[in-house]
Amino acid sequence: MFERFSRSWALIKASASVLQKDKELLVFPAVSSVAALLVAGSFLGPLIWWSMGHPGAFERDDMSPLWYVYMFVFYLTQYFVIFFFNTALVGAASMRLEGQDPTVADGLRIAWSKVGTILGYAAIAATVGLILRAIEQRAGWAGKWIAGLIGAAWTVATFMVVPVLVHRDIGPIDAVKESALLLKQTWGENLIGQGGVGLIFGLMQVGLWMLFGFLAVSAFAAQSIAVGVTILVIGFVCTLILALLQAALSGIYSAALYRFATGHQNSDEFSSELLTHAFAVKRK
């Protein structure tokens, strides 16, 4: 297990080397985050305002079909924004892995060329998300447990959908099928690798919160309010930067995984030896 996580760390370093050459790749998760916040605000703001005049309107036994339609449109829009910029990120990262020098415009061009397929995949993801939400609301604690398991399986199975959409001219349903098939071939190492990325950045986030939390509490205890607020702001900014780094590295990681799984050559950062051991094909 430790060996597998050490391989994940090596993959993170390889992804970071690619990111260092193309720092503009950070633009995609940054713009995606801002756009997602705007979408959330445009949907949830009016919903919160309306619910203030209708107490109890969103109790799980009183959900109307109109509420589900509203939530579906919200999920659809949110997922479309996220998948669009993820496609741009993975497309640009794939160009770098091929030895090219991509620009932000290149990534956006790739994403725009797949806009119809991205919308279709967003509709599928929105449907799955709405079904999971309904299960959580209707089945109590058991529903949350079931929805959590299904959601985790869906996340793993669709991990390579975006790279598939970038490289293949196929529909969203076929992209989901191909992602699941590729994941079956590289199941164990991919799951550990992605978990390793999340674990490492999760530990870094916890470390940041503890550090800046301690410094802020110390400042407030010394009645240095301005210093304490400044520390909290810096900590918040550092947290955002880490989140952007994680998103960018995950996009590069998924692009490299797909290219290896489909027999494509990667750049020098992802050596054949590293990928051979990190993504060994599952024996039948």
Q: Is residue 109 part of a domain?
A: yes
- pLDDT: which is higher, 50 or 55: 50
**How many structural domains does the chain have?**
1
149-205 pLDDT, tens digit per residue, is: 888 778 878 888 999 999 999 999 999 998 888 877 764 544 544 555 667 777 788
- Distance, in Å, from the CA atom of 185 to the CA atom of 189, rounded to the nearest integer, reads 10
Q: Is residue 100 part of a domain?
A: yes
pLDDT at position 5 is 62
Closest C-alpha to 243, from 193, 208, 281: 208
Q: Is residue 154 part of a domain?
A: yes
Distances in whole angstroms, Cα of residue 111 to Cα of each of 86, 98, 108, 166: 8, 18, 5, 8
DSSP 32-58: HHHHHHHHHHHHHHHHHHHHHTSTTTT
- pLDDT: which is higher, 64 or 107: 107
Contact 180, 157 (CB under 8 A): yes
pLDDT at position 34 is 93
* pTM of the predicted protein model: 0.81
pLDDT at position 75 is 92
Kindly state the average pLDDT of the residues 77-102. Answer: 92
Q: Is residue 29 part of a domain?
A: yes
Flag whether pLDDT at 136 surpasses 80. Answer: no
pLDDT at position 154 is 84
pLDDT at position 54 is 59
Flag whether pLDDT at 107 surpasses 90. Answer: yes
- Coil, helix or strand at residue 254: helix
Q: Is residue 284 part of a domain?
A: no
Residue type, 121: Y
Contact 108, 90 (CB under 8 A): no
What average pLDDT is seen over the chain?
81
Q: Is residue 163 part of a domain?
A: yes
Q: Is residue 283 part of a domain?
A: no
pLDDT at position 55 is 60
Contact 266, 97 (CB under 8 A): yes
Q: Could you list the residue range(s) of the whole structural domain that residue 46 is in?
A: 2-278
Closest C-alpha to 135, from 126, 147, 145, 122: 147
